[in-house]
Structure formats: structure tokens, C-alpha cells
Structure 1
Amino acid sequence: MKYQTRNQLQSVGDVHADMQRPTMTSRERLARWAELLEQTPDRSLGTLPETEFQLASTRDAMRSADTPITVAFQDEVLQADGLKDDTYGEAKRFFELTDWQLHRVVCSCHLGATVRAETAARHVREASGPRPGLFARLWREIMGCAPYF
């Protein structure tokens, strides 16, 4: 295949720069992110320290090499859909997550200094589903598992 500039292509046919492919929904973005993480389930990824204790501006700028967010940012499909960098704030915006949801995916207080990609993928998938009720959340925090009744 021969590389040609936009001007060269316009001499052959109509080129419309304003045509864009449809963007993914937030659920589709989260599903893609989880799939990327699941491709290397045993990969050890870094976390971000104590995100809940940071000022919002500091938290939004937080990043570290080789985090679950970095895995998403390295994907050309997610970049083409609008993921601009691998900061906490950009992940929150792009994936349409609350601080609490993103905190569960990348914060060291839940995961330690590193997290397995498979575990991060599970948290990403949980973020894409309906939020459990208050009782279910309390049960999970106290008992460490989802209620079974």
C-alpha cells in the first residue's frame, strides 16, 4: 500500500475530513478496557497512592508508568475514540466513572502497590454494571464478598 497525503487523495476522489466513525458508549469503552487487561491476566500493574486523600486537582493529574489506565491508553482504538492520556482525571472523564469507581480500579489502599491485570479487569467490569445497593456494598466491605442470598 502506498502512503498518500490528503491533498493527493483529493485529486483522485472526494475526501471528507469531517466524517468520523461512531464513538463507543461508556459501557463499550469499559468492556474494551477490561478485555485489554484480560489479555495478560498475570501482568503486574502499578497503582496510584491513596487517591481518595488527594485534592481533586492533584488526583486528576495523577499518573504512573504501567497502571491499568496505561493499558487503556496504549490501545489505538481507545485513543482514536478520544482517550487523551493516562492520567486519573482523563480516565474518569473518558470512561465516565465516579471517583469511587475509578478508585476501586487503581488505588493502592485497596490493591497494594501493584495489582494483577485480571483483578483490575474485574473491577473495571464491576464499574460497567449497575451499582449495588447500600446493603450489598456494606456486606461486601464487611464480609469481603458479594451477598449470596
Structure 2
Amino acid sequence: MVQGFPVSQRDPPALHRTLVKCLNKYGLTFATVNPSTALLQQMPLWHHPGEDSTKRQENNGRAARCMRANHAALTIGDGLDIALRMRDPLHSNQATCACDRCEADRTSHGCSDPHACVTKAASRLKQIHPRWIPKPDHGDDESVPIAPDGSGE
């Protein structure tokens, strides 16, 4: 039960159906005491079990679809890699950003607005409980960059 949405019990094999039924019956969830950085980076970015269920989850907007389809951003590590671009002094907060990584996204990944994907990655990471976000290696206190307006979007 790594993702936060209900699992269909019709399609999987009988053993999996029994397992899911048991998990649902007893309310079992995914939990770990001290997850490693590698595990945290491999957790799903979309439908994460640690997302704030009181906030509207933006999993299907234009930028979210672009991140999945064009950037192959499926894990927390992928999202962090994209979001940390905000800290690059060469990155500008515009759709026409000319930094190397945004240019590469436009040319090789087919992304029309790389900065929108950068801000979506940051806002998506802000929707997940900080316990599930890997700590940065460079000793900075802030693990997820915040957009200039302070919203992370």
C-alpha cells in the first residue's frame, strides 16, 4: 500500500485480492520508523501515502501530466531533481528560461514550459509531509525550494 488510492480487487490474482482484502479489513498502511534516503527518493511523487489529505492534490493538471510524460518524473527523487532547479542562479522564473536544463527540456523532452514543471515539482513536494522528503546533502535547512511568491507554485 505505497500509494494513497484504493486498489481494485477485481483484476489482480486471487492471492493479491486476499492480501488487499486483509490490508483493508485491518486498516494496515505503509509505515517505517527511519526510512533511508534511497527509499525516500524511490517513493512515488504522485498519490504518495504521506500527502496532506486535507489539501487538494494536483496530480492531473497540465504541468503534472507533462512531468510524468515528458520528464518521466515518477518518484520523489525525480521531483527533487526538477524542483532544485529553482536554486540555479542561471534559471529564470519564466516560460522562456534559457538555462541549460530548461533548454534541454524543451529540445529533447518536448516540454513547452519547463519553469511551470519546476514550480509544479516544488508545489507537489510541499504537499507531502516533510518526513517523506529526503534531507539535502548540502546541509541547507530548507529541503524544498519555494517560489518567489512564497507559495511553492
Indicate the structure with greater strand content: 1
User: Using CA pairs below 8 Å that are at least 6 residues apart, which structure has the higher relative contact order?
Assistant: 1
- Considering only CA atoms, is the larger Rg found in Structure 1 or Structure 2? 1
Indicate the structure with greater helix content: 1
- The alignment's TM-score, normalised by the length of structure 2, stands at 0.25
